[in-house]
Structure 1
Amino acid sequence: MKMAQALNGKLITVFGGSGFIGRHVIRILAERGYSIRAAVRRPELAEHLQPLGAVGQIMPVAASVRNKKSVERAVEGACAVINLVGILYETGAQKFDSVQAKGPGVVAEVCKEQGIDTFVHVSAIGADENSPAVYAKTKAAGEKAVLEAMPNAVIFRPSIVFGPDDDFFNRFGSMAQLFPALPLIGGGHTKFQPVYVGDVALAIANAAENKVETGKIYELGGPQVATFKECLQLMMNVILRKRMLVSLPFLMARIQAKFLQMLPKPMLTVDQVNLLKSDNIVSKEAQAEKRTFEGLGIEPHSMEAILPTYLDKFRPRGQYDSQNAAKS
C-alpha cells in the first residue's frame, strides 16, 4: 500500500464504507490525502479500514441511512458524500424499501440542506421501476429520490462486481471445492459484464473529486460480456477444477430459493432468481452517450487479469498450485 499523502484538510463521508466496494474507495481517497468518515451501522466492525490510511485519517462513525439524524451528524463538514449502501437480501430492519429506495433520498436531502454540492450514489445495472425483482425496483426508486434532491449528483450503475472478497466468484469457487456440480440457473444464459472493483472504486473517487461530469447516470461494465455459464467455466479454469454444470430451470430455482432464503445468510433468494431473468450489461444508450468507463477515461481490467490473483485459494492445493498454473 502506498503511504498516505499529507492530509489536504478536506473530509469525505462514505456511507457503507466498510463493505466490498467501500474498502477500495477509501484506500484511494486516503492515498489522495483526504480525511474519511466511514459511516457504518456498526463502527466496531470497521476497524479493518484503519490500515488503509495514516493514523486518524479514517474515522468510522455510527450512522444509518434509515435515520436522518445520524446522517446529518455523519456528513457535517464534508466536502463530498458517497453512498454505497445496498443489500442483496432483507434481514431484520434492513429492508429493500428503507435501505435502497428511501435511504439514498435521505442522504441526498441532507446533503442539500447542509450545502454539500458533491454527492455520488452507487446503484446497479438493471435498476428498473418495472422490474419483477424488488432489488431492481428499489434501486430505481433510490436513483429517482437522489436526482430529485440533487439533480447534479453522479450515479454509477456497475454490473456484477468482482475482486477479492466478492460475493460471486468466491461463492461458486467455494461450492466447487465441496460439490461435484454447479447449478446454472435458467440454463446459464443470462449475460453479465463483470467489472473489477478497483475500476469501480477509481470512478467513484474521481467523481468525489469533481473530475466527472455531474447529473448523469453512468453504467460500468468490464471489457467483456459473458454468460453465467461462461463465467463459471472461466472460474473453473482458474481454480484448476472440473465440475459438471447442471441446468436449473427458473421454476425449479424459485422453488429451491423459497427454502434457501430462510437461512441466516441466504445462498439464493426468489428475488435473485427474478434478477437473473434479465441480462446485466451496459445499455446501448449508455455506450452511445459515453456514460461508461470510456467516457470516464478509465480502461477496465479483464477477468483473466484479475481472477487468478485471488481465486487460487480454491485450487486443489491452494496457492501452491499457482506456479503450476502459470506454466500450463
Structure 2
Amino acid sequence: MAANPASNLDTLVTVFGGSGFVGRNVVRALAKRDYRIRVAVRRPELAGHLQPLGRVGQIHTVQANLRYPDSVASALRDSHVAINLVGILTEGGAQTFNAVQAEGAATVAKAAAAADARLVHVSAIGADAESASSYARAKAAGEAAVLAAVPEAVIMRPSVVFGPEDQFTNRFAGLARMSPFLPLIGGGETKMQPVYVGDVASAVADAVDGKAQAGATYELGGPEVLSFREILKIILDITDRDRALLPLPFGLAKLQAAVLQFAPGPLKLTPDQVELLRHDNVVSEAAKAAGLTLQGLGITPDSLEAVAPQYLWRFRPSGQFQRKNA
C-alpha cells in the first residue's frame, strides 16, 4: 500500500462493482468527499457513465473479475481502501452465488490483506449459513471469508435497497403496468425495512472516512418496517394503478418460479427468491442496541414514500404530468 495519506485527495479507494445500482451511488458519495476512485469492473468500456460523477481524472476504471485473483490484485495495487459491492440476484453461467458472493468475496479480502488496504464489504440482511436460500448462504460464506482474511473489515448489511435504478420497486411498478394483479407471495406478510440507496452509499463512505467500528457488522434499514403487502400498496398508490393483490402461497409460488425463472424483465421470479421471502428482512434488535445502524452512524434514513415518487412517476398512465388520483 502507498504511504498513509494526508487527506482524502491522497487516498485511493478501489471499488469493486462500482458500475452497478449501489456502486454508482457509492462512487458519487466518495467523489463528493474528494477521494481518488478506482472502479474495478468486468467491462470498463461500459462504465463511462461514472465519469461525470467526479472531477476530471478523479474516477478511473480498470478491468477486474472476481473469478480471476490476479486481476483483483492488480486492481488493488497502491490502494488504501477496498470496497466490495459485487453481488448478483440471479445465477447465470459462471456467475453463481458461490462464485461471486462467497469465493469472490474471499478473493477481494485476501488481495486487500496483501495490499494492506482497509476493507468495506457490502453483504445483505438475511445472510445465514443455515438458510435454505443459496443466495443467503453465499452471502454468509462471503462474510466469514472476509473476516478471516481481514478481521478489521467493516461489513454493511442493507435490507431491500430502493432507488431510481433498483430491481425492486421498479420491477413491481413495471409489472403493475402490464398485469391486472400483483402476487402477494406467502400472503404478503413478510416484513422488510426498505433502505434508500443514497443512505447506503453514505454509510459506506462513512466507513471509508473511518467513522465505522473496525470489525463490526452494520445493519442498514429505512425508517419504517413494512410488510410486502404494504410496500406493493405504496407502489400502486404512487403509480396511480388500481390492481388486485392476489395472495400466493409459498408452495404455489415456488412451483410458478420454476417456470418464471426463465421469464424476461419484471416477470422473472426464481425459487431462491421465493425462499428468501419466507423470512423477514429487518434490522435486528442486537444491531440497534449496539448502534450498528444508519442512525448509529449519524444518518437519518429517508422513507420509501418520500423518495419513490421522484422516480416511479414514469409508471403512471400519463407519466409525470398526470394529476395523481385525479
TM range (shorter): over 0.9
**Alpha-carbon deviation of 1:69?**
0.2
What letter corresponds to residue 73 of structure 1 in structure 2? S
Query: In the TM superposition, what are the counterparts of 1:1-328 in structure 2 within 5 Å?
Result: 8-116=9-117, 118-263=118-263, 267-321=268-322, 324-325=323-324
* Cα distance in 2 for residues equivalent to 1:262 and 1:295: 41
What letter corresponds to residue 91 of structure 1 in structure 2? G
RMSD of aligned alpha carbons: 1.5
What letter corresponds to residue 231 of structure 1 in structure 2? I
**Alpha-carbon deviation of 1:130?**
0.5
What letter corresponds to residue 147 of structure 1 in structure 2? L
| Partner deviation per Cα, 1:131-185 (whole Å, 9 max, x = no partner) | 0000000100000000001110000000000010110110010111111111111
Give 5+ residue unaligned stretches, structure 1: 1-5
Q: Find the residue that maps to 2:15 and give its secondary structure.
A: strand
Distance 1:264 1:317, change over 3 A: closer
* Cα distance in 1 for residues equivalent to 2:39 and 2:108: 14
Give 5+ residue unaligned stretches, structure 2: 1-6
* Cα distance in 1 for residues equivalent to 2:180 and 2:68: 46
* Cα distance in 1 for residues equivalent to 2:43 and 2:65: 9
Greater Cα offset, 32-41 or 119-128: 32-41
* Cα distance in 2 for residues equivalent to 1:278 and 1:269: 16
Q: Find the residue that maps to 1:8 and give its secondary structure.
A: helix
| Partner deviation per Cα, 1:168-210 (whole Å, 9 max, x = no partner) | 1100101111111111111111100000000000000110121
* Cα distance in 2 for residues equivalent to 1:166 and 1:107: 25
| Partner deviation per Cα, 1:269-323 (whole Å, 9 max, x = no partner) | 01000000000001111111111112111110011110111000011110112xx
Q: Find the residue that maps to 1:202 and give its secondary structure.
A: helix
Normalised TM-score (structure 2): 0.95
**Alpha-carbon deviation of 1:56?**
2.1
| Partner deviation per Cα, 1:12-48 (whole Å, 9 max, x = no partner) | 1000000101101101111111221111111111111
* Cα distance in 2 for residues equivalent to 1:151 and 1:85: 20
Q: Find the residue that maps to 1:218 and give its secondary structure.
A: strand
Total equivalences in the alignment: 319
* Cα distance in 2 for residues equivalent to 1:233 and 1:263: 24
What letter corresponds to residue 100 of structure 1 in structure 2? Q
* Cα distance in 1 for residues equivalent to 2:248 and 2:19: 34
| Partner deviation per Cα, 1:200-251 (whole Å, 9 max, x = no partner) | 0000011012121111000000000000000000111111111000011111
Is the contact between residue 80 and residue 116 of structure 2 (CA under 8 Å) also seen in structure 1? no
Q: Find the residue that maps to 1:44 and give its secondary structure.
A: helix
* Cα distance in 1 for residues equivalent to 2:146 and 2:165: 28
Normalised TM-score (structure 1): 0.94
**Alpha-carbon deviation of 1:252?**
1.1
Is the contact between residue 30 and residue 37 of structure 2 (CA under 8 Å) also seen in structure 1? yes
* Cα distance in 1 for residues equivalent to 2:65 and 2:20: 14
What letter corresponds to residue 80 of structure 2 in structure 1? C
* Cα distance in 2 for residues equivalent to 1:286 and 1:99: 26
**Structure 1 stretches of at least 4 aligned residues deviating more than 6 Å after TM superposition:** none
Identity of aligned residues (%): 55
Q: Find the residue that maps to 1:279 and give its secondary structure.
A: coil
Determine the structure 2 residue equivalent to 1:3.
none
